[in-house]
């Protein structure tokens, strides 16, 4: 009988996890561990400044968003955490460089503020020295977008 070898999964109890994270270049975050034990990372500086985490319910997207956001906060980033379930990212509440929004009105207002911040950053003409990386973590994006659309219709009609 042939033995099935499962891939090594990211484990927060791995003895060298902290060392693997600390060894990553600035602007990178650990997303997994390969079958041979090497860190698998996403690099926002070398690749793209966007990451999409998409899974079915219970697939780990909330945990992945939490991990990515925490790693970038550790590197000095600021974060906008949009948490429509209001309970998925309570860890982020009260952190000095995090804006946590847990209701649709707050999420709407935060996105308006985000548009203003992105315009301000564009107006800097690429001179972003001293401007912290901004992480925007949107949990349950499909549900959030539907709720935002309903919220916008109610505001316009009411």
- pLDDT at residue 76 in the model: 92
pLDDT in tens, 3-24: 655 444 555 566 777 787 788 8
For range 50-78, the mean pLDDT: 87
Is the pTM higher than 0.85?
A: no
- pLDDT at residue 13 in the model: 61
SS3 of the chain: CCCCCCCCCCCCCCCCHHHHHHHCCCCEEEEEECCCCCEEEEECCCCCCCCCCCCCCCCCHHHHHHHHHHHHHHCCCEEEEECCCCCCCHHHCCCCCEEEECCHHHHHHHHHHHHHHHHHHHHCCCCCCCCCCEEEEECCHHHHHHHHHHHHHHHHHC
Pairing state of beta strands 98-101 and 78-82? Answer: parallel
- Domain residue ranges of the chain, discontinuous segments joined by +: 1-51, 58-157
- pLDDT at residue 5 in the model: 53
Taking 80 as the threshold, does the pLDDT of residue 25 lie above it? yes
Could you tell me the sign of the dihedral formed by the alpha carbons of 152, 102, 69, 127, in that order?
positive
% of the chain exceeding 70 in pLDDT: 88
Mean pLDDT of the chain: 84
Rounded-to-integer distance, Cα 69 and Cα 47, Å: 17
Is residue 131 a contact partner of residue 124, using CB atoms and an 8 Å limit? yes
């Amino acid at each position: 009988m042939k033995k099935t070898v499962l891939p090594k999964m990211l484990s927060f109890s791995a003895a060298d996890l902290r060392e693997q994270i600390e060894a990553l270049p600035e602007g990178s975050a650990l997303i997994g561990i390969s079958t041979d034990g090497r860190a698998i990372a996403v690099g926002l500086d070398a690749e793209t400044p966007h990451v999409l985490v998409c899974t079915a319910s219970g697939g780990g997207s909330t945990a992945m968003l939490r991990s990515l956001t925490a790693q970038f906060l550790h590197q000095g980033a600021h974060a906008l955490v949009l948490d429509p379930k209001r309970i998925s990212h309570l860890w982020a509440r009260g952190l000095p460089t995090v804006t946590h929004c847990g209701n649709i009105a707050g999420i709407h207002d935060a996105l308006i503020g985000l548009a203003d911040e992105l315009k301000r950053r564009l107006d800097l003409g690429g001179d972003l020295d001293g401007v912290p990386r901004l992480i925007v973590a949107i949990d349950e994006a499909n549900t959030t977008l539907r709720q935002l659309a309903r919220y916008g219709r109610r505001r316009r009609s009411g």
